């Protein structure tokens, strides 16, 4: 007996992709799901994140909350998928460069977050909530931290091989420090309106490279 095709979420974007065996109705559902996610993203970019309820989000998108819940189990799943799609777009842009993990790509991702304060606020707020092991997004944020830290460590090691960063630097420690700095600077920007997040991060990378 032939096995049934599945419609499992993509591990990066969280979007359910239609396989070759899926019909037009499923593909239409996938497209509608992504349309909702991009609509929510546009809402947060334009108006900021204020812990909007499903009712608030539905009103802004001119759709009923029940329609959103047809595609997402609850508000937290919706917001997690918004972050996953945001990350996926950033990673896709970096992959198109073909340079692999690199520190400039990390800076570009932070710059993009700073240009959309609502998305940065959403990420930080959900990350704090997800510290609770019982939170629906706990595993996602743990995996995301590991992924970003691993990518940064690889970027540091690559620069050590090229001679841009000295061999005595600990790549894993540097990765943790850069992540902590980026998150802390973005939090300060949200609280105090600081606009030099990227400049401070770039200065830290120059220091890591011994260029200052």
Domain 76-208 has CATH 1.10.357.10: yes
CA dist 8 and 27 (Å) reads: 13
Q: What is the pLDDT of residues 114-137, one digit of tens each?
A: 999 999 999 999 999 999 999 999
Is the separation of the CB atoms in 126 and 83 below 8 Å? yes
Which stretch of 6-10, 23-27, 170-174, 192-196 has the lowest confidence by average pLDDT?
Answer: 6-10
Angle of helix 103-114 versus helix 138-162 axis, rounded to 10: 140
Residue 211, class by beta-carbon neighbours within 10 Å (0-12 exposed, 13-18 middle, 19+ buried)? exposed
Residue 184: in which H helix or E strand, if any? helix 171-192
Is the separation of the CB atoms in 44 and 32 below 8 Å? no
Please say if the pLDDT value at position 194 is more than 90: no
CA dist 164 and 207 (Å) reads: 11
Please say if the pLDDT value at position 18 is more than 80: no
Is the separation of the CB atoms in 152 and 205 below 8 Å? no
The confidence score (pLDDT) of residue 10 equals: 41
CA dist 136 and 110 (Å) reads: 25
Q: What is the mean pLDDT of residues 87-98?
A: 78
């Amino acid at each position: 007996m032939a096995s049934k095709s599945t419609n499992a979420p993509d591990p990066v974007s969280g979007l359910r992709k239609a396989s070759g065996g899926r019909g037009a109705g499923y593909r239409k559902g996938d497209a509608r799901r992504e349309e909702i996610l991009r609509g929510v993203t546009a809402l947060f970019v334009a108006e900021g994140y204020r812990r909007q309820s499903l009712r608030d989000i539905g009103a802004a998108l001119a759709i009923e909350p029940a329609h959103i819940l047809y595609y997402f189990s609850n508000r937290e799943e919706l917001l997690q998928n918004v972050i996953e799609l945001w990350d996926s777009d950033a990673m896709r842009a970096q992959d198109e460069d073909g340079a692999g993990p690199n520190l400039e790509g990390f800076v570009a991702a932070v710059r993009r977050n700073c240009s959309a304060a609502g998305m940065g606020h959403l990420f930080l707020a959900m990350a704090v909530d997800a510290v609770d092991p019982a939170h629906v997004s706990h595993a996602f944020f743990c995996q995301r931290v590991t992924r970003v830290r691993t990518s940064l460590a690889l970027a540091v090691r690559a620069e050590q091989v090229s001679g841009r960063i000295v061999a005595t630097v600990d790549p894993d420690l540097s990765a943790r420090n850069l992540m902590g700095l980026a998150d802390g600077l973005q939090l300060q920007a949200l609280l105090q309106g600081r606009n030099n997040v990227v400049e401070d991060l770039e200065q830290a990378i120059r220091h890591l490279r011994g260029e200052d």
